[in-house]
Amino acid sequence: MTERVVPEPERKRRRPTKQGVVLSAELIVDTALRLVGLHGAEALTVRRLGAALGADPSAVYRYFHSTDDLLIAIADELIGRAQHGWRPTGDWRADLRAIGLRIHAAYQAHPQAALLAAHRTTGRANEITAVENILGILRNAGFPDPEAVRIYHAFVDQSLGFAVLDAAALALPSAALSADYQVWQASYARLDATTHPHIAATAHLLTADMNRSAYPHALDLLLDAAEARLGRSGG
C-alpha cells in the first residue's frame, strides 16, 4: 500500500458498504481477525478484506499504511482483549498471574492471529497500557527498578512464548493435533522399563500432562522465583 492514511475526521464513509456497515479501523481489525481465524495467514490481503467488508479494497488504505500496519493493529487488539475487564487487587502475585493467564487465553482464542502477531512490538495504546500496568505492579510490590524490568521481560516473554507454542498446536489440522497427542499413549507409554526406566515410571503422568498447556505451572514457577527474590531484597 502506498497511499497515505487518511486522518480520523476524514475517514468515515458517507455510505454503508455492501454489507450495510460503515467502515472503521476497528471493523477492519475485527474482520481481519475473523478471516485469519478461518483461513490462516494467507487471508490477510487487502483483496480478501475488501470482499469480506463489501467495500473496494482500496478503502482499507484509508486506515492502514500496509498489511504490516494492519498486523500491528491486530497485535495491539489482542493485547487489549487480554486486558479488558482486568482490575488490580493490590496483591502483586495474584495480579500478575491474572494478567498472564489473560494474555494466554486471548491468544488461544485466536491461534492463527497469535502466530502472526504475538512477537510484534506495537508501541500503541493497548501495549503501552499493559507495560505500564505490569511495571506498576512490580514497582509497587517493592521490586527495585532493575529487578522490576528483568522480571517484566521474563514475564512477558514467557506468556507470549507459551501463547505462540500453544497457538501453533491449536492451529494444526485436527487430525494432526490428535495424532501428536496420541504419540504419548502409543509410543512413550509402551517403552520398556528395562531400557527407559524413568519414562516407564512416569508414563501414566506424561500421557495426562503432556496433552495440556504447561503455561499455568510455568507461570507459577516464575512467580515463585520472583517472590523469593523479593524476599531476599527486603521488599
Statement: residue 12 has pLDDT above 80: no
- Split at pLDDT 50, 70, 90, the class of 9 is low
CB 152 within 8 A of CB 211: no
pLDDT at 21: 78
> How high is the pLDDT of residue 233?
72
The per-residue pLDDT for range 34-56, each reduced to its tens digit, is 999 999 999 999 999 999 999 99
pLDDT band at 166 (very low <50, low <70, confident <90, very high): very high
Task: Give the model's pLDDT for residue 2.
Answer: 44
Closest by alpha carbon to 73, among 130, 19, 18, 33? 33
Q: What is the mean pLDDT of residues 167-187?
A: 94
Q: What's the rounded mean pLDDT across residues 182-195?
A: 96
Pair 151, 99: CB distance under 8 Å: no
Q: Which pLDDT score is estimated for 113? A: 96
Q: Taking 80 as the threshold, does the pLDDT of residue 97 lie above it?
A: yes
Q: Is the pLDDT of residue 1 over 50?
A: no
Q: What is the pLDDT of residue 47?
A: 95
Q: Which residue has better confidence, 135 or 13?
A: 135
> How much is the pLDDT for 3?
45
Query: Average pLDDT for residues 162-176, to the nearest whole number?
Result: 95
Answer whether residue 102 shows pLDDT above 50. yes
pLDDT at 136: 98
Residue 84: what pLDDT?
96
C-alpha cell at 75: 497485535
What is the value of pTM for the model shown?
Answer: 0.88
**What's the pLDDT tens digit per position in 44-95?**
999 999 999 999 999 999 999 999 999 999 999 999 999 999 999 999 999 9
Closest CA to 106 of 173, 29, 164, 174: 164
What is the three-state SS of the chain?
CCCCCCCHHHHCCCCCCCCCCCCCHHHHHHHHHHHHHHHCHHHCCHHHHHHHHCCCHHHHHHCCCCHHHHHHHHHHHHHHHHHCCCCCCCCHHHHHHHHHHHHHHHHHCCHHHHHHHCCCCCCCHHHHHHHHHHHHHHHHHCCCHHHHHHHHHHHHHHHHHHHHHHHHHHCCCHHHHHHHHHHHHHCHHHCCCCCCHHHHHHHHHHHHHCCCCCHHHHHHHHHHHHHHHHHHHCC
Per DSSP, the three-state class of 129 is helix
